[in-house]
C-alpha cells in the first residue's frame, strides 16, 4: 500500500522552488516536447517601427494630395 500511495504523496508534498510537482513536470514537458529546440532571438526595434509608420503616413499624404488635385 505504501508503494501505491508514494506517487500521490509526492504530488501533495514535493515542491521545487515553490512550484508544485505537477506544474514543475508540466514546465519540463513543454520545454522538451512542445516548444522548438532552437529558438531565434527576436527584438522589437521601436525606432524602426516609428520609421515605418512615418513612411506610411507620407505615402498616405501624397495619395490624398494627388486625389484632391
What's residue 69's pLDDT? 67
CA distance 45 to 6: 51
Containing 20, the helix (H) or strand (E) segment is strand 19-20
Q: For each of the chain's 69 residues, which pLDDT tens digit applies?
A: 888 888 888 888 888 888 998 999 999 999 999 988 887 888 889 999 999 999 999 999 998 888 776
What's residue 54's pLDDT? 95
- For the chain, the structural domain boundaries read 2-68
Q: Three-class SS of residue 15?
A: strand
Sequence-distant (≥ 6) Cβ neighbours of residue 10 within 8 angstroms: 21
The answer to whether the beta carbons of residues 21 and 11 sit under 8 Å apart is: yes
Amino acid at each position: 500500500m505504501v508503494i501505491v500511495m508514494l506517487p500521490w504523496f509526492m504530488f501533495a508534498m514535493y515542491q521545487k522552488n515553490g512550484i508544485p510537482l505537477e506544474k514543475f513536470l508540466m514546465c519540463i514537458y513543454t520545454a522538451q516536447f512542445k516548444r522548438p529546440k532552437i529558438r531565434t532571438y527576436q527584438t522589437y526595434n521601436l525606432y524602426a517601427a516609428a520609421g515605418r509608420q512615418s513612411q506610411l503616413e507620407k505615402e498616405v499624404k501624397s495619395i490624398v494630395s494627388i486625389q484632391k488635385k
